[in-house]
Amino acid sequence: MSAENGDGGRATTAEALEAVDTWQKMMGAHHMRARVVAKRVGDDERIRENIWGTAPT
Q: For the stretch 12-33, what's the b/e string if a residue is b when 16 or more beta carbons lie within 10 angstroms of its beta carbon?
A: eeeeeeeeeeeeeeeeeeeeee
The pLDDT value recorded for residue 30 is 56
Which tens digits make up the pLDDT trace of 6-51?
555 666 788 888 888 887 777 766 555 666 776 777 777 777 777 7
Distance in Å from the first CA to the final CA of the chain: 37
**DSSP string covering 23-55, please?**
HHHHH-HHHHHHHHHHHHHHHHHHHHHHHHSS-
Q: Where along the chain do its domains lie?
A: 13-52
Contact 56, 49 (CB under 8 A): yes
